[in-house]
Amino acid sequence: MLSGIEYAVILPTIYRYLQILEAPSYFLGLGLSAFSLSGLLTGPIFGYWSDHSKTTKGIVLFSNVFEIAGNFMYFIGYSKWLLLGSRLVAGIGAGAGSSIFGFLTRTTQPEERAGIFAAIMACRQAGLLVGPAFNLFLRLCDFRLGPFVVNKYTSPGIFMCLLWVLLQFVVLAAYWDVPPLSSTEGGTAMLEMKQDESVEGEEEAPLMGPDQDQAEYTYRTVNTDLLDNSCEMHPVRKVSNPFKNFSASREFLREEVVVLLTAQFITLFNQTALETMVTPMTQRYFGFGELGNSLMYSLCGVEVILGFFFVRWLSRTVSDRAMLAVGLVICSVACIWCLIFLCEPRGGYKWELSAFIIGVFLQLLGLPFVAVSQVSLFSKVTAEKTQGFSQGVRRSVGGIATILGPLWAGGLTNNLYIMLGMMLALLAMISVMTALSYEHLTEPRPVECAHSSDSGG
C-alpha cells in the first residue's frame, strides 16, 4: 500500500520538480527508471535471502531503511542528480517485494493463490487511490524546515519518509513470520503419499493438537523410517539448502515459464510507457496541473481496485490461463484505440478528452486480468522451495520493462505512432505465444506414487 501511495504522490509532481531543477525532458524517464533499476538488481538477492532463512520480517525492516533514506534525499532535492540518486536508493527497498511474494506462495494453497494475489495487488492500488488525496494538502505546503524548503514539490519526499518510518514500528509490533505450509502440512502430505486410500479420511484431522507448541511443531522432522518406501521425494525440512540441485536454466527456460516472463515484461513495458506519456499529454492537450493529474490518478485507482476484486471473485471459477487470455485481448483493444484516436486528436476538446478517457479505461480494465493471472501461474509452475528467488527473477524481468518503458515513451511523446505501434506489436507477439503454449499454462499435476500392496505402509 505504501509503495502505491509513494508512486501516487511523487508521479504528478516529479515532472515539474525536474523542470525547476533545470533537468532536460529525458530526466523524467531516467527518474522513473532509476527506481526500477535498483529494485531489479536487489530483488533476486532479497528472494535468495528469504528462501534460505524462511523469514520475511527482517528483510522488510532492512529494505525499508532504503525507502526512508531515498525519500529523504528526494525531499532535499538540491539538484537533478540528487533527485535521480534518491530514486535509485528508494528502489533498493522495493526489492523486498520478491520476499513478500515468496512468503505468500509458501503460505497459501494453489487453488486460493490467485485470489490472495489479487487482494495483495489491490492494496497497492488502494495506495494509488489514497495518494492523490494526500497531494491535495501536500500541494499547499509552503514553509521552511530548518535549512530545507518544504513546498508542493519537496513535501512528497518528507511525507513518504515519515510513512516508511511509521511502517517500521508497525512491522516490529504487529507482524510475525508464519510457518510455511510445507512445515505444517508436509508430514501429512508425505504420509498420504505412502498410505492406501483409506488414509484419505485423515485429511480432516487437525494438523496441530490443542496442547502442541507451534514453534516445536514448525521444526519437527518427519520420521525417515516412514519414508523408506516412498517415491523419489523428501520433506522440505530434510534438505537444509533449498538451492541444492537447483538449475536456473532448467527452472526458467521451460516453455510455460518463458511465456509468463515475457507476459510480465510486455505488460509492464506497455503500462509504464503509457504512464510516462499521460502526464505530458494531459498537460499539453487538456491543461491539467498537479490537481487535475492527482484527481485523474485517483479515479484510475478506483477502477483498478474494482478490477482486482472482480478478478479475485472470478478466479474461483475461471482458470488463470483463461484470465490471462482475456486480459491480453482487452489490452490489445486498448492499444488499438489509442493508436487510432490519440495519436492525432481531432474533434475539439470534449471529443479528445472522451477518447483519452476511453483509452485509459480500457488499458486499466485489462491490467488486473494479466497481472494476477501471470503471477499466480508463475508461482505454480516454479519450485515452491525457491519461490523467493524465482519471484525475484520475475520482478527483475518486470524491472527491466519498467526501465525501458519510460525511456521508450519519454523520447517519443511527440511520436505516438511509433510508441504505440511498438506496444501493439509486443502485445500481438505475447498473444501468439500464449495461444501456442495454452496447454502448458497450468499447474503441473502431482506425481502419482506407485506402491506395492505388501509395503509396510
| 268-296 tens-digit pLDDT | 898 888 877 887 788 777 888 767 777 78
Specify whether the CB–CB gap between 422 and 428 falls below 8 A. Answer: no
| DSSP classification of residue 149 | E
Residue 144's beta-bridge partner residues?
A: 149
Measured CA to CA in angstroms, residue 174 lies from 171, 213, 284 at distances of 5, 20, 46
CA distance 422 to 401: 13
> Residue 159 burial (CB < 10 Å; 0-12/13-18/19+)?
buried
pLDDT of residue 61: 93
Specify whether the CB–CB gap between 334 and 366 falls below 8 A. Answer: yes
pLDDT of residue 227: 39
pLDDT of residue 164: 94
Nearest CA to 360 out of 293, 313, 415 is that of 293
CA distance 333 to 363: 8
Specify whether the CB–CB gap between 97 and 39 falls below 8 A. Answer: yes
Whole-prediction pTM: 0.71
Measured CA to CA in angstroms, residue 271 lies from 402, 416, 419 at distances of 8, 15, 12
pLDDT of residue 302: 84
pLDDT of residue 158: 92
Measured CA to CA in angstroms, residue 273 lies from 267, 313, 368, 410 at distances of 10, 29, 17, 8
CA distance 125 to 123: 5
pLDDT of residue 181: 67
Specify whether the CB–CB gap between 370 and 324 falls below 8 A. Answer: yes
Beta strands in 134-199 (DSSP E): 143-145, 148-150
DSSP code string of 339-364: HHHTSS--SHHHHHHHHHHHHHHHHH
Q: Which residues of the chain have pLDDT under 70?
A: 181-240, 290, 445-457
Strand, coil or helix: what is 73?
Answer: helix
DSSP code string of 183-198: HHHHHHHHHHHHS-GG
pLDDT of residue 182: 57
| DSSP classification of residue 232 | S
CA distance 297 to 130: 10
CA distance 286 to 299: 17
pLDDT of residue 114: 84
